[in-house]
Amino acid sequence: MKKLFTALIALMLISFSSFAHEGHDHGTGQVQPTKGGVIQKAGDLFLEVVGTKSDVKIYPLKAASKEAKTLVPVALNEVKLVATYMLPRGKATPVTLARSSDHFEGKIAAGSSHRYEVKLKIESGSMKDEITYQIEPQE
């Protein structure tokens, strides 16, 4: 009887652990950054932020189709952005963003900081959102 009870307990533990990762999709189902930055979603848009110690680039992207995991650039005139950055133990500093061919770009002064925070206020059509990024500057 004791062996039967132990076998049932072992069987239950094995069966529960086999379902522990069901439904998790950490593989190719997720969109990947196209420029090597940090990517987050805001409404139907994806915003990729690439930061260095002297500037920040923001790429507005959208899915090529509903099923596609591929991202394509969004026309910059369809997106309004307001950006600030903050160094550790610092205060928020506005970033003046200029339009480039497929991204917005702004100058910052991260100095010797190994990390800073970028806050974006986004408007696109009727969608309004705010996103915060933790940036570890690329050299």
pLDDT of residue 28: 44
Block means of pLDDT (10 residues each) for the chain, length 139 residues?
A: 76 63 51 85 91 93 79 92 93 94 94 92 93 87
pTM above 0.95, yes or no: no
pLDDT of residue 1: 76
Domains recognised in the chain with CATH numbers: 35-135 (2.60.40.3340)
Task: Answer for the pair 94, 129: CB distance below 8 angstroms, yes or no.
Answer: no
SS3 assignment for 52-79? ECCEEEEEEEEECCCCCCCEEECCHHHC
pLDDT of residue 60: 95
pLDDT of residue 25: 46
| Helix, strand, coil in percent for the chain, rounding step 5 | 15, 45, 40
CA distance 116 to 30: 25
pLDDT of residue 81: 95
Q: In what order do the strands lie in the sheet with 116-124?
A: 93-95, 80-86, 116-124, 127-135
pLDDT of residue 27: 44
How many CA atoms lie within 13 Å of 90's alpha carbon, on the beta-carbon side? 16
59 C-beta neighbours (distance < 10 Å), count = 23
